[in-house]
Amino acid sequence: MKDGHRSFYTGSFAKKMVESVQNNGGIWSEEDLNRYKVLEREPVRSTYKGISIIAPGLPSSGGLVLSNALNILAGYELDKLSPTTQKHLIIESLRRAYYERALKMGDPDFMDNTLEFLLTPSYAAKQRESLNINYATDNQTLEFADPPYQGQGNDTTHFAVIDKFGNRVAVTQSINFWFGSAFVPKGTGVLLNNEMDDFSIKPGTENGYGLIGYDANAVEPRKRMLSSMTPTFLESDRGFVILGTPGGSRIISMILLATLEWINGGDAKSMVSLPRFHHQYHPDYVLYEEEAFMSSEIDELESMGHIFKKSNRQFGNMQIITWDQENNKIEVASDPRGKEKSREEVY
Ligand code: DON
């Protein structure tokens, strides 16, 4: 800490890490560490029903997937529809936004085109054209804008902070799976992550979270892997929210459900406690916590063509701070799933 970035990524400490990794079969070089730089990137800014959303840009998919799914939902008057239809539309929006993730998203330094179009109402309108209010969309009918692959050729923590001056911070940090790669280079005390799993290792091949990807997120030298981390600010006349959660691919849908809850007047506590459900385009099913649906809703949604899979554990560990502008009141809430439970029970 005292000697900063250089003392970690260069010199004798870096050497120690590299030697130990190599002695244990890893392929790191000192150059890999020497040339590593932290990059600051612009967040994605969008609006939904009068609230501003500020969430991470690539190489996290969080901001784009969240904003794109909300843009799709913006075409409906959700509050005038039945709870089941609302859930159907949320699932279908997530299906489409995660489909864009699988096909197009990766480290922006390695991409030729920007994905700004995902933030436009006109693209969301196009995405809604294939959305049937009564039936789940068959993944096979979602058209690839570009063929993704033509044969040859080609433990997470979130915290939210505010100080007395109103400075706010939303931070999610990840070493990916529990204990990362479960490897500490000898003599360093540094636990190495296994973020390599966030890359797509082969076209259309699932990672640890069942996510698929193609060229945009293929492994390449000096490239950063596509993330789902979504530390986010919401802002409106009501005040603001600082939020985020661990949970791998499900992070983005958790933030989306919490955002909708805030828009519906919910507070910090109801946002963190809300039962959760998730769809990520592939695998093509709705993963849900038991309390998220009544059995009659599942029957109805199944008859619309949705496939359901009950999660054998709850997911997420959301941390929220809200500021209510009218009453100048701060509220904080921690996910009940994160309390008094072993890590095996919560993911
Ligand atoms: O960046 C990502 O999307 C993943 N490394 C996040 C992993 C995660 O949230 C694990 N926590 N349960």
Kindly report, residue by residue over 92-115, the tens digit of the pLDDT: 999 999 999 999 999 999 998 899
Indicate whether 23 and 106 sit together in one domain: no
Nearest partner of 142 among 284, 306, 307, 256, judged by Cα? 284
How much is the mean pLDDT over the chain? 92
Domain housing 203 = 43-346
pLDDT, tens only, 301-325: 999 999 999 998 888 999 999 999 9
Indicate whether 282 and 305 sit together in one domain: yes
Indicate whether 105 and 248 sit together in one domain: yes
Indicate whether 19 and 165 sit together in one domain: no
Pocket test of ligand 1: the residue of 178, 181, 228, 345 to mutate, having most ligand atoms within 8 Å of its CB, is 228
Ligand 1 centroid–CA 330 distance in Å is 28
Indicate whether 265 and 342 sit together in one domain: yes
CB crowding 282-300: b at 16 or more within 10 Å, else e: beebbbbbeebbeeebbeb
Nearest partner of 254 among 274, 226, 225, judged by Cα? 274
Total domains in the fold of the chain:
2
Ligand 1, residues at Cβ distance < 6 Å: 155-156, 174, 176, 195, 198, 227-229, 246-248, 251, 347
Pocket test of ligand 1: the residue of 250, 251, 319, 341 to mutate, having most ligand atoms within 8 Å of its CB, is 251
157 labelled catalytic: no
Computed over its alpha carbons, how large is the radius of gyration of the chain?
21
Indicate whether 31 and 103 sit together in one domain: no
CATH number at residue 61: 3.60.20.40
Atom of ligand 1 nearest to the CA of 197: 5
Indicate whether 221 and 299 sit together in one domain: yes
Indicate whether 245 and 328 sit together in one domain: yes
Confidence of residue 144 (pLDDT cuts 50, 70, 90): low
Indicate whether 34 and 48 sit together in one domain: no
The gap between the terminal CA atoms of the chain, to the nearest Å, is 31
Indicate whether 33 and 77 sit together in one domain: no
Indicate whether 107 and 7 sit together in one domain: no
Answer yes or no: is pLDDT of 163 > 60: yes
Indicate whether 247 and 160 sit together in one domain: yes
